[in-house]
Structure 1
Amino acid sequence: MLGNLVIPLKVELPPKLFLDFFIRFVLVTMCVIKPLLTYQSDVYF
C-alpha cells in the first residue's frame, strides 16, 4: 500500500520537496506512534 502511494508522489514532486515532506511525515509519525507504544509498554522505551 505504501509503495503505491510513494511512487506517484515521487514522480510529481521535486526530489528536494519530496525529501522534506518525507522527513516531516516520519517525524510526525514518530511523535504520534512513540507515545502510543510507551502507553502500551514502558519496557521498550
Structure 2
Amino acid sequence: MITALADCLKRDKTNGPKWMWILIIIFVNILGPILYFVIGRKD
C-alpha cells in the first residue's frame, strides 16, 4: 500500500483523478493497490 501511494503521488498523470486513486488505495485495503498498479498507471 505504501509503495502504491508513493508511486501515485510521484506520477504526473494517472488514469482518472489522482485524489480518487489515493482514496481507493487507502480504503480498499488489498485490492486498492493492485487496482492502481493494473489500471491506474498511465505508463
Same fold by TM-score greater than 0.5: no
Shorter-normalised TM range: 0.3 to 0.5
Q: Please report the TM-score for the alignment, with normalisation by the length of structure 2.
A: 0.38
Ranked by relative contact order (alpha carbons within 8 Å, sequence separation 6 or more), the top structure is 2
Structure possessing the higher radius of gyration over alpha carbons: 1
